A and B are shown apart, each in its own frame.
Chain A
Amino acid sequence: MFDFLQGYNLLGAFWVTVQLTVYSAIGSLIWGTLLAAMRVSPVPLMRGFGTAYVNIVRNIPLTVIIVFTSLGLFQTLGVSLGADRFTTINFRLAILGLTAYTSAFVCEAVRSGINTVPLGQVEAARAIGLSFPQVLRIIVLPQAFRSVVGPLANVLIALTKNTTVAAAIGVAEAALLMREMIENEAQLILISTIFAFGFICLTLPTGLFLGWVAKKVAVKR
């Protein structure tokens, strides 16, 4: 029944999916937090930049962003991210595109977390003379992150599913393999079931685990 799987690197494709997810998740957590910091900072220009970035990026299809990293950044501007084989370049470009896109959502999640921190905490922090970066780093962000584990888990799961868009620039992840297999094998239902199952294996445990973490770390008020 599963003979047709011969010659396809199913695990390899899902491994690429996992790698895309992990690298982009780290990237967007960092860039998204920075964006959130910009959006609440005392510098108007930074606030404006953060707002503009989020509003533009959230409204562009991820597909456009991913294709643009290849066509615009690589083909035209010559950004190859330190690699010289197409496969590596496309992989890294996909991570860049996913990070750029996901950061906007991370930023909004973190910002909503910042809004849950009680005024009194911030006022107390300022009263003892902490500067804006200190208020953010020591008082606000630690609490904000604890309250946004749930929303961030959703962003992570959306990211896992979004990695399939990397197929548009030929990154050999799960969706690209699925398309190839559908074209070559007359086993549509079985193939689709396998890939659906694969993604459920990735997203469901992540959701369950982070849901548990979210309850664990939630700030009791």
Chain B
Amino acid sequence: MKKDRPTVLYDVPGPRARRRNLLWTLLFLVALAAVVWWVVVSLADKNQLEWAKWAPFFTDARVWETYLLPALKNTVIAAALAMVIALPLGALLGIFRLSDHRWLRGAAGTVVEFFRAIPVLILMLFANAAYSEFTDISPDIRPMYAVVTGLVLYNASVLAEVVRAGILSLPSGQTDAAKAIGMRKGQTMSYVLLPQAVTAMLPALVSQLVVIVKDTALGGAMLGFSELLASVRPMSANYGANTIACFTVVAVIFVVLNFALTTFASWLEGRLRRGKKSTGAVVGAGAVEELATPGEHMGPADGTK
């Protein structure tokens, strides 16, 4: 239904409407072509389209082996680590937010609010400086620690909301049935609700992974973390400052990686929604952005809905 929806906004075009649409198409095409033409001509004018600047990416496998792939590996490791550490933390926070104890709800709510209100870059800068000042972590690994720490602090708070939404999305019959067979609160949570919630949350988790992957680039630009974006520096130093070409290739890799994740998330969502054996409860891929406006759960009283 979502797919057919836009067509409801206008009639099936008659001859006049078709002519008008054709006119719009042509105008838009001309505008687009003008922009593309301007970009291409300007780039060519500045010698940025010289084959020498782009050739390494196509003809020289060593560029990939030496710079891009190791950098991509660091991006993926940092993102995976952040997700894997943030998830249990987020689950814990999310469960606390559903607790029967007022103070626990309040405390978890405050933590969630705090880390969601602060830019992840500020968290990373803090972590980087704190590690260098208070710990003995080697400088070549420190940026990765800092990036992962910043991402974990932020994403645990976001995932807390996802987990909460996941648990609340389950039919109340599940809790009732657990109670009926004499399970305690903790048992209900760990044997009945959480396992199902994790499944329901999967699409949201995958799409949060996209956010995490994108945020690792901050570490490259501001902390000296050797991830994908930072690989532009040694690459362009070797090939006559072909920064435009390098940036374009890096951007394309990011898009391909994240697009794959996004597609996977929506496939997963569709599968779960159609699934017959589960409860059908699902926290969608779009949920992360729509969840809870900051400040919404400041008061300890509104812990449960």
Contacts and interface: CB of A to CB of B under 8 A. Distances in A.
Determine whether A and B are in direct contact in the complex, meaning some CB atoms lie less than 8 angstroms apart.
Answer: yes
B119 interface: yes
Interface in A185-221: 188, 192, 195-196, 199-200, 203-208, 210-211, 214
Contact of B120 (A40, A131, A161): A161
A45 B28 contact: yes
B96 interface: no
A110 interface: no
Given A45-B25, A115-B2, A122 B229 contact: no
Given A42-B21, A108-B286, A164-B119, A182 B129 contact: yes
Contacts of A163: 119
Interface bracket on A: 35 or more
B24 A60 contact: no
Contacts of B294: 154, 157, 203-204, 206-208
Contacts of B136: none
A199 B117 contact: yes
B220 interface: yes
Contact of A119 (B8, B24, B121, B259): B8
A64 B295 contact: no
The A contact surface, by secondary structure, is helix
Contacts of B84: none
Interface string A35-51: 00001111111110100
Give the interface residue-count category, chain B: 35 or more
B10 A188 contact: no
Interface stretch (B101-109, B175-183, B242-250): B242-250
Contacts of B42: 76-78
Contacts of A211: 293, 295-296
A102 B243 CA distance: 25
Contacts of A61: 213-218, 229, 254
B51 to A, nearest CB: 17
B255 A56 contact: yes
Contacts of A49: 28, 32
A206 B294 CA distance: 8
A140 B210 contact: no
25 contacts: A39-B6, A40-B5, A41-B6, A43-B21, A45-B25, A58-B258, A59-B259, A60-B254, A64-B251, A68-B247, A71-B247, A140-B9, A154-B294, A161-B120, A162-B119, A163-B119, A175-B121, A192-B122, A199-B122, A203-B117, A207-B117, A207-B295, A207-B296, A210-B293, A214-B293
Interface of A: 39-47, 49, 55-56, 58-64, 67-68, 71-72, 76-78, 105, 108-109, 112, 114-115, 119, 122-123, 126, 131-132, 135-136, 140, 150-151, 153-155, 157-158, 161-165, 167-168, 174-175, 178-179, 182, 188, 192, 195-196, 199-200, 203-208, 210-211, 214
Interface of B: 2, 5-6, 8-11, 13, 17, 21, 24-25, 28-29, 32, 39, 42-43, 46, 48, 113-114, 117-122, 125-126, 129-130, 133, 210, 213-218, 220-222, 229, 243-244, 247, 250-251, 254-255, 257-259, 262, 286, 289-291, 293-296, 298
